[in-house]
């Protein structure tokens, strides 16, 4: 569930770093990532899909600058969904021509900035977004490279809250409307039709939904080409699942086979947008047991990490595997691990494989590299936690822990202003 994690003489190490010692010296909660695991995930993805398929990492999964920098150095492009993510990608030196702008709600300012930056492609999700992009491009007298994100009406068979390709989901343009809209792109002097995009959801554990979605995109591509419209690029989205301790994620080689079978014959430039698959299994969240509340069926174990640090269990009933950082034997005792936040949803789940935990024990939530730190909040005035990158026996604090003073500083200038004088 976490690559590079191994028990070494009674200690749990990430690469060659003893996580118990690290947690003791830096404090908890803290996210820790393995740079070797990230590099390995990128390389195996690249080898599976082939050198000619570009990989644009979905920054939303983990936008830490050090992680983006590492991926950028490996040649990875970026899939962004906001001006903030654009700024992050540019800050680590990602060439604009490796940046794709996705998302249903791009603002005028974000569109303008992305155009001025000269990004590779806008994945457009609605007719009204198309109009705005054309309008902003006209103001600059440029042509915006546009791919239409199509909603293929395919169920990704994942959690409903992270499925995006069903009819009625807010994402993409309905297949029936795509042809007319693509013609509209081609007819505009300020829009350049470059291709199609599709993304069916996240933590997808089966290849069949990909096969169906890609086949529909292939059909649409042929239909558009038959009317003389150019479709040079296909963006196949992300979503490949990882291991959270149950179920086997799709094998990369088989995924690449689905890509070849469905769209290989179209001779299009292909892009994929994995997020979770590149960083998810490369990270852990370390936390410490604060209190035990004994109960008949399962002890309630209160840890110092909460739903504000790792929201996935509260949002999607996700269960992250847990290991003790100093594993010990003895009879197992069922426990429900919960956080300190004042919400009943602040619970990580029921675990039955651990010995009776005690205050002071440190544990790790595994497979926490994606959508962990990235989705954190400061709810309950809890500062954003630190993030650490490990490389062999070395570590770097790639984000220090936020202070409460920093949080409060945003609220410092709260004087009254009069609308009448504006
Ligand atoms: N491309 C697009 C257009 C996306 O919307 C997403 C994710 C990706 C690529 C990357 O998907 P991935 O390969 O990481 O599955 N917070 C949720 C996941 C939300 C995914 C949103 N979109 C979670 O923690 O499970």
pLDDT at 422: 63
Q: Are 67 and 42 in contact (CB under 8 A)?
A: no
- What is the β-pairing status of strands 283-293 and 233-235? unpaired
In sequence order, which residues have a C-beta less than 8 Å from that of residue 92 and are 6 or more positions away? 65, 68, 69, 72
* pLDDT greater than 70 at residue 62: yes
Domain-wise residue ranges, the chain: 5-33+280-409, 63-274
What is the pTM assigned to this prediction? Answer: 0.97
Distance of CA 163 from the midpoint of ligand 1 (Å): 9
pLDDT band of residue 19 (cuts 50, 70, 90) is very high
pLDDT at 199: 97
Which is more confidently placed, 307 or 421? 307
- What is the β-pairing status of strands 233-235 and 269-272? parallel
Q: Which ranges of 92-232 does DSSP label H, i.e. alpha helix?
A: 108-117, 127-140, 175-187, 208-226
Question: Which residue puts its alpha carbon closest to atom 9 of ligand 1?
Answer: 238
Q: CA gyration radius for the chain?
A: 23
Give the pLDDT mean for 170-188: 96
Of all atoms in ligand 1, which is nearest to the CA of residue 204? Answer: 15
| Known binding-site positions for substrate | 276, 312, 316, 343, 371
Question: Which residue puts its alpha carbon closest to atom 15 of ligand 1?
Answer: 239
* pLDDT greater than 80 at residue 177: yes
Segment 107-129, tens digit of pLDDT: 999 999 999 999 999 999 999 99
Catalytic positions, written as ranges? 342
Can you say whether residue 172 is alpha, beta or left, with left for phi > 0 and alpha for psi between -120 and 50 degrees?
left
- Give the residue, out of 38, 55, 58, 282, with the most ligand 1 atoms within 8 A of its beta carbon, to mutate for a pocket test: 58
pLDDT at 149: 97
Pocket around ligand 1 at a 6 A CB cut-off: 58, 61, 79, 102, 162, 199, 202-203, 237-240, 273-277, 312, 316, 370-371, 375
pLDDT at 160: 86
* pLDDT greater than 70 at residue 244: yes
Segment 144-175, tens digit of pLDDT: 999 999 999 999 988 888 888 888 889 999 99
Distance of CA 374 from the midpoint of ligand 1 (Å): 12
Q: Are 101 and 114 in contact (CB under 8 A)?
A: yes
Question: Which residue puts its alpha carbon closest to atom 16 of ligand 1?
Answer: 371
Nearest in space to 121 (alpha carbons), one of 92, 88, 96, 85: 96
Of all atoms in ligand 1, which is nearest to the CA of residue 275? Answer: 14
- Give the residue, out of 76, 165, 196, 239, with the most ligand 1 atoms within 8 A of its beta carbon, to mutate for a pocket test: 239
Burial-class residue 175 by CB neighbours within 10 Å (0-12, 13-18, 19+): middle
pLDDT at 251: 97
ipTM score here? 0.99
Q: Are 380 and 308 in contact (CB under 8 A)?
A: yes
Rounded Cα gap, residues 367 and 283, in angstroms:
6
Segment 258-306, tens digit of pLDDT: 999 999 999 999 999 999 999 999 999 999 999 999 998 999 999 999 9
* Maximum CA extent, the chain: 72
Rounded Cα gap, residues 219 and 222, in angstroms:
5
- What is the β-pairing status of strands 283-293 and 269-272? unpaired
63-274 and 5-33+280-409 share a CATH fold: no
Residues making up the chain, counted from first to last: 422
Rounded Cα gap, residues 104 and 316, in angstroms:
21
Segment 358-414, tens digit of pLDDT: 999 999 999 999 999 999 999 999 999 999 999 999 999 999 999 999 999 999 999
| Known binding-site positions for pyridoxal 5'-phosphate | 239, 273-276, 371
In the numeric block, which tokens belong to residue 267?
A: 């001779």
Question: Which residue puts its alpha carbon closest to atom 24 of ligand 1?
Answer: 371
pLDDT over 90, % of the chain: 94
**CATH number, domain 5-33+280-409, options 2.40.37.10, 3.30.559.10, 2.50.20.10, 2.60.40.10:** 2.40.37.10
**Using a CB cutoff of 8 Å and minimum separation of 24, what contacts does 97-103 make?**
98/54, 98/56, 99/56, 100/56, 100/235, 100/271, 100/273, 102/149, 102/197, 102/199, 102/273
User: Does residue 414 sit in helix, strand or coil?
Assistant: coil
Distance of CA 334 from the midpoint of ligand 1 (Å): 32
Beta bridge partners, 54, equal 271
Whether domain 63-274 has CATH 3.20.20.10: yes
pLDDT at 246: 87
In sequence order, which residues have a C-beta less than 8 Å from that of residue 239 and are 6 or more positions away? 156, 158, 199, 200, 201, 202, 203, 204, 210, 274, 276
* pLDDT greater than 80 at residue 1: no
Of all atoms in ligand 1, which is nearest to the CA of residue 311? Answer: 24
Segment 293-325, tens digit of pLDDT: 999 899 999 999 999 999 999 999 999 999 999
């Amino acid at each position: 569930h976490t690559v590079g994690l191994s028990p070494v003489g009674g200690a749990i190490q990430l690469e060659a770093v003893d996580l118990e010692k690290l947690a003791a010296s830096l404090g908890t909660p803290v996210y820790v990532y393995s740079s070797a695991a990230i590099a390995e995930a990128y390389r195996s993805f690249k080898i599976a899909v082939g050198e000619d398929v570009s990989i644009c990492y979905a920054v939303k999964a983990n936008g830490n600058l050090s992680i983006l920098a590492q991926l950028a150095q490996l040649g990875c492009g970026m899939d962004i969904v906001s001006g903030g993510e654009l700024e992050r990608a540019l800050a680590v030196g990602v060439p604009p021509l490796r940046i794709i702008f996705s998302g249903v709600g791009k603002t005028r300012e974000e569109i303008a900035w992305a155009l001025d930056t000269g990004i590779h492609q806008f994945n457009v999700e609605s007719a009204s977004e198309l109009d705005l992009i054309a309008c902003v491009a006209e103001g600059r007298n440029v042509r915006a490279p546009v791919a239409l994100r199509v909603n293929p009406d395919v169920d990704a068979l994942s959690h409903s809250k992270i499925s995006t390709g069903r009819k009625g989901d807010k994402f993409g343009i309905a297949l029936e409307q795509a042809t007319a809209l693509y013609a509209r792109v081609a007819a505009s002097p300020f829009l350049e039709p470059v291709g199609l995009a599709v993304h069916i959801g996240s933590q997808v554990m089966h290849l069949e939904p990909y096969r169906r979605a890609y086949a529909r995109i292939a059909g649409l591509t042929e239909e558009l080409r038959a009317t003389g419209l150019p479709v040079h690029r296909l963006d196949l989205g992300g979503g490949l699942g990882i291991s959270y301790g149950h179920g086997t994620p799709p094998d990369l080689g088989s995924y690449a086979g689905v890509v070849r079978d469905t769209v290989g014959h179209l001779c299009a430039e292909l892009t994929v947008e994995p997020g979770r698959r590149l960083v998810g299994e490369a990270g852990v969240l370390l936390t410490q047991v604060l209190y035990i509340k004994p109960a008949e069926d399962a002890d309630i174990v209160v840890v110092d990490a909460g739903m504000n640090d790792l929201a996935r269990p509260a949002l999607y009933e996700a269960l992250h595997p847990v290991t003790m950082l100093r594993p010990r034997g003895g009879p197992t005792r069922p426990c429900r691990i919960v956080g300190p936040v004042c919400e009943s949803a602040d619970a990580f789940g029921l675990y039955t494989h651990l010995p009776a935990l005690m205050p002071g024990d440190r544990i790790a939530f595994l497979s926490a590299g994606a959508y962990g730190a990235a989705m954190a909040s400061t709810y309950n005035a809890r500062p954003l936690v630190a993030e650490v990158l490990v490389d062999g026996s070395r570590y770097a604090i790639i984000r220090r822990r936020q202070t409460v003073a920093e949080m409060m500083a945003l609220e410092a200038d709260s004087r009254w202003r009069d609308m009448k004088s504006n």
